[in-house]
A = this chain, B = another copy of it.
Amino acid sequence: MDELALQECLSDLKDLVDSRLKFYIEQSVPKHGQVAELAGDVLLAGGKRLRPLLVVLAYELVGGRDLEEILPLALAFEMIHTATLVHDDINDNAKTRRGLPTLHERFSQEKALIAGDWLFVQGFSLGGRLEGEVVTIIADCCGLIASAEFKQINHVMDLTTSPDDYLTIVKGKTAGPFSGGCEGAAVIAGASAEQREALLRFGTEMGISFQLVDDLLDIRGDERMGKPRGSDVYEGKMTLPLIHALTILHGPKRQRLVEIILGFSDSMFDELIELLTWADSISYTEILIKTHIERARSALDLFEESQAKHALQAITDLVIDRFE
């Protein structure tokens, strides 16, 4: 399948997801009023729709043919993802999201909190109509998001945070919805245990690399993030480049890095980059991203060549493209 046709297929699928989300909100506004409008503003403000794309493609990869059968799960994961963004933005006191002011900035924290709840409810409303096994996957995934967020909070500015702590947080918070979406899709399509396990692994590895790219872009600055560079450092989040540099550096350099992490301000940015470069933490993170993407790709080896497989491979390329 040629590159152009593949991009068109991905773009058509994204358009379909966008139009279904829009339709869902339009139907909800007459029933639920302003809370549905505000939630819709965030939901429809853009976004790559990566989670729903993965869900649909994973379903097709194992032979699923009925889009209407899989779309509820795809939309459910996007709603739940957006709900967590709204609540995270409250907790991080973030000013912008996808280049727009956050809900709590535009309205109030009260309304943002409830709009997030509403999005959760809609996600579960869509997901709750699926078979019991899939409901369990969604619920476990959401439970682990909350659990991972607690761990992340407990590790804010914790200089002893290990790569293992980092992975536990990322697996729950970021990779969980990727792997849960892929696994749920496999169950709905009636996949074999082996296929299901491979898709779960694919989602996990994709999710980890995705978070690592986010970590990198936070340090590099990237306007596509729609938020100021260094936000994570400012919030005391222990991203992988920081964890790595804390392990590598010694003496006065490590001491200075600690000072920067504990009292970060924008004026320290160049110095931070210098220390991270000295420790090779940025290239280490880049290598790690490629390793996880490679693992995601090999999880697909099990499956025969198909349009869905090529599309999933193309999405792994997109993750790399985000930072290269």
Contact surface of A with B, Cβ cutoff 8 Å: 28, 31-36, 83-84, 87, 90-91, 108-111, 113-118, 120-122, 124-125, 127-129, 132, 135-136, 138-139, 142-144, 146-147, 149-151, 153-154
Please, how many angstroms separate the alpha-carbon atoms of A111 and B87 in the complex?
A: 11
A129-B135, A139-B125, A150-B33 known; A91 and B110 CB under 8 Å? yes
Q: Is B146 in contact with A138, judged by CB distance below 8 angstroms?
A: no
Known: A114-B149, A118-B143. 17 other contacts (CB 8 A): A32-B143, A32-B147, A33-B151, A34-B147, A34-B154, A35-B149, A35-B150, A36-B147, A114-B146, A118-B146, A120-B120, A120-B124, A121-B146, A124-B124, A124-B128, A124-B139, A128-B138
Chain A interface, DSSP helix/strand/loop, else mixed:
helix
Enumerate chain B residues within 8 angstroms of A154, measured Cβ to Cβ.
34
Please, how many angstroms separate the alpha-carbon atoms of A135 and B114 in the complex?
A: 20
Please, how many angstroms separate the alpha-carbon atoms of A149 and B117 in the complex?
A: 11
Q: Is B136 in contact with A125, judged by CB distance below 8 angstroms?
A: yes
Please, how many angstroms separate the alpha-carbon atoms of A114 and B121 in the complex?
A: 15
Find the residue from A31, A124, A142, A149 having the highest chain B CB count within 10 A. A124
User: Can you list 11 residue pairs at the A/B interface with Cβ under 8 Å?
Assistant: A31-B147, A34-B154, A87-B113, A91-B114, A110-B153, A114-B150, A120-B124, A122-B143, A128-B139, A129-B135, A129-B136
Enumerate chain B residues within 8 angstroms of A151, measured Cβ to Cβ.
33
Please, how many angstroms separate the alpha-carbon atoms of A143 and B117 in the complex?
A: 9
Q: How many copies does the complex hold?
A: 2
- Closest chain-B Cβ to A235's Cβ sits at a distance in Å of 11
Please, how many angstroms separate the alpha-carbon atoms of A274 and B216 in the complex?
A: 64
A129-B135, A139-B128 known; A115 and B146 CB under 8 Å? yes
- Closest chain-B Cβ to A25's Cβ sits at a distance in Å of 12
Enumerate chain B residues within 8 angstroms of A34, measured Cβ to Cβ.
147, 150, 154
- Closest chain-B Cβ to A110's Cβ sits at a distance in Å of 4
Please, how many angstroms separate the alpha-carbon atoms of A49 and B122 in the complex?
A: 26
Find the residue from A109, A111, A146 having the highest chain B CB count within 10 A. A146
Enumerate chain B residues within 8 angstroms of A120, measured Cβ to Cβ.
117, 120-121, 124
Closest to A32 in B: B147
- Closest chain-B Cβ to A107's Cβ sits at a distance in Å of 9
Please, how many angstroms separate the alpha-carbon atoms of A240 and B36 in the complex?
A: 27
Enumerate chain B residues within 8 angstroms of A84, measured Cβ to Cβ.
117
